[in-house]
């Protein structure tokens, strides 16, 4: 029987950018509570594990000492550093906020712990829903991300001698992770996302395939707005299993951003809970060792459902569709899975599918031969 762990503690639910910001770490708490209501942690094969605390030293494998110090100083309310130099601005995506250092470093400790327990084979899968902050750069914040727990966790796994396949299904391109390993063949990064022409950060085109030793080890699968379950599940099996199988990873790291859902207010993709869960299932089946991280997701009634379903895949548990009454009463959410599908015009469906065909063809031509496929 497979063993799974969900990393949870209150330190993971503190907002980095203040209570008003669209990124609400309270969604980690709502996910945990929903799992609790489903009695997800009553079996010995499925546990909640509290995060370990991270320190500045944990950041240094990726972030510059200057950036780390600046975030701490700005977070403490000092004026030694210019926030704008690190992409913090009260008017932008990343408004500086008192206590942001502590709030932002907590998911790093959680991802490192999750990586460690999977590497040590204590569990087969570990899920840090507070992680997956894939945009942060070595010396600047970006796209609601201050510290890149993904890169830090992958570097930890590389340090343990493991080959890592990273698959990112967040609606936004996983640029920070791709950049960190762009010239490496020890990590293959595969990002599914809404095409950069329509969505932040603007990168992630099919021709970004890596450089030097890393040529062929960055794979980008952009979608047009309104790409739905059908399109995703048409593309995935053609590209991901062949690439990952030929790479032979020791572990799969997945970024499970929930902002691909059709109700997400910031993006334009059209996955349902069913399509998302199927993608998660297919990613999890690629390796016996699985580090799962969260990511984006801005529809409050959606994210806890998506991540509860994802954890169900990891723990090998099926939840009834009717949400337990105590959760229904608390949050007014009645069903775990979507009962509706997004209405998408046929001509739009055809366009998104045609675009996906072109992308698949392009990747098969450009990337597959570099792996002997």
Measured CA distances, 177 to 81, 133, 225, 255 (Å): 26, 9, 23, 10
In this structure, are residues 210 and 182 in contact, taking their beta carbons and an 8 Å threshold?
yes
Question: Which residue among 107, 174, 204, 257 contacts Zn ion (CB under 5 A)?
Answer: 257
Kindly state whether residue 131 participates in binding Zn ion, applying the rule CB under 5 A: no
Q: How far is the CB of 119 from Zn ion (least distance, A)?
A: 26
CA–CA separation, 147 and 62 (whole Å): 9
Instruction: Please list every residue from 17 through 36 that binds Zn ion, using CB under 5 A.
Output: none
Closest CB to Zn ion among residues 81, 192: 192
Catalytic, out of 135, 172, 226, 261: 135
Q: How many residues bind Zn ion (CB under 5 A)?
A: 6
Residue choice 33, 93, 149, 259 for contact with Zn ion (CB under 5 A):
259
Is it true that the peptide bond before 159 is cis, omega within 30 degrees of 0? Answer: no
Q: b vs e for 120-138, b when ≥16 Cβ sit within 10 Å of the residue's Cβ?
A: eeebbbbbbbbbbbbbbbb
Residue whose beta carbon is closest to Zn ion: 296
Sign of the Cα torsion 13, 14, 20, 23 reads negative
Q: Classify residue 188 by its DSSP letter.
A: E
118-258-164-247 Cα dihedral, nearest 10 degrees = 130
Question: 244 vs 258, which CB is nearer to Zn ion?
Answer: 258
Is residue 171 part of the contact set for Zn ion (CB under 5 A)? Answer: yes
Rounded to a whole number of angstroms, the minimum distance from the CB of residue 259 to Zn ion is 4
90: number of Cβ within 10 Å: 12
* Between 58 and 259, CB nearer to Zn ion: 259
* Interaction of residue 172 with Zn ion, rule CB under 5 A: yes
Burial label for 65, CB within 10 Å (0-12, 13-18, 19+), is exposed
Q: According to the binding rule CB under 5 A, does residue 296 interact with Zn ion? A: yes
Q: Which is nearer to Zn ion, 41 or 144 (CB)?
A: 144
Annotated active-site residue 135? The verdict is yes
Question: Residue 124 or 228: which CB sits closer to Zn ion?
Answer: 228
The CA R_g of the chain, rounded to the nearest whole Å, is 19
* Residue 184 beta carbon to Zn ion: minimum distance, rounded to whole angstroms: 23
Number of other residues whose CB lies within 10 A of the CB of residue 201: 16
Residue 279 C-beta: closest distance to Zn ion, Å: 15
Query: Is the CB of 196 or the CB of 214 nearer to Zn ion?
Result: 196
Does 170 bind Zn ion (CB under 5 A)? Our answer is yes
CA dihedral 103, 106, 111, 112 (to 10 degrees): 140
Distance of CA 249 to the CA centre of its chain: 18
Smallest distance, Zn ion to C-beta of residue 304, A? 16
Minimum distance from residue 172 beta carbon to Zn ion (Å): 4
Catalytic residues: 135
Q: Which residues contribute to the site for Zn ion (CB under 5 A)?
A: 170-172, 257, 259, 296
């Amino acid at each position: 029987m497979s063993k799974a762990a969900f990393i949870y503690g209150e330190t993971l639910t503190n907002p980095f950018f203040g209570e008003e910001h669209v990124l609400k770490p309270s969604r980690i708490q709502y996910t945990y509570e929903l799992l609790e209501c489903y009695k997800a942690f009553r079996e010995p094969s499925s546990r909640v594990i509290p995060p370990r605390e991270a320190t500045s030293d944990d950041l240094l494998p990726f972030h510059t000492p200057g950036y780390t110090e600046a975030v701490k100083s700005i977070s403490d309310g000092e004026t030694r550093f210019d926030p704008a130099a690190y992409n913090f601005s009260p008017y932008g995506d990343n408004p500086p906020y008192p206590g942001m250092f502590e709030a932002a470093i907590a998911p790093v400790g959680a991802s490192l712990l999750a990586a460690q327990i999977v590497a040590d084979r204590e569990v087969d899968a570990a899920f840090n829903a507070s992680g997956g902050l894939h945009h942060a750069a070595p010396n600047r914040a970006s796209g609601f991300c201050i510290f890149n727990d993904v890169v830090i966790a992958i570097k930890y796994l590389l340090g343990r001698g493991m080959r890592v396949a990273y698959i990112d299904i967040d609606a936004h391109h996983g640029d920070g992770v791709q950049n960190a390993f762009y010239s490496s063949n020890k990590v293959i990064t595969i990002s599914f996302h809404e095409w950069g022409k329509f969505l932040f950060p603007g990168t992630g085109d099919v021709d970004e395939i890596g450089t030097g030793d890393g040529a062929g080890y960055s794979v980008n699968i952009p979608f047009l707005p309104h790409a739905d379950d059908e399109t995703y599940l048409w593309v995935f099996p053609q590209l991901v299993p062949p690439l990952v199988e030929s790479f032979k990873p020791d572990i799969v790291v997945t970024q499970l951003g929930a902002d691909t859902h059709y109700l997400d207010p910031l993006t334009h993709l059209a996955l349902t809970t069913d399509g998302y869960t199927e993608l998660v299932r297919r990613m999890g089946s690629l390796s016996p060792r699985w580090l799962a991280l969260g990511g984006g997701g801005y529809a409050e009634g959606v994210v806890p459902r998506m991540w509860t379903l994802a954890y169900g895949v990891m723990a090998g548990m099926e939840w009834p569709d009717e949400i337990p009454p105590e959760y229904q009463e608390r949050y007014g959410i009645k069903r775990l899975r979507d009962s509706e599908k997004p209405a998408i015009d046929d001509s739009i469906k055809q366009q998104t599918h045609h675009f996906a065909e072109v992308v698949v063809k392009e990747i098969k031509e450009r990337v597959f031969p570099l792996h002997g496929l």
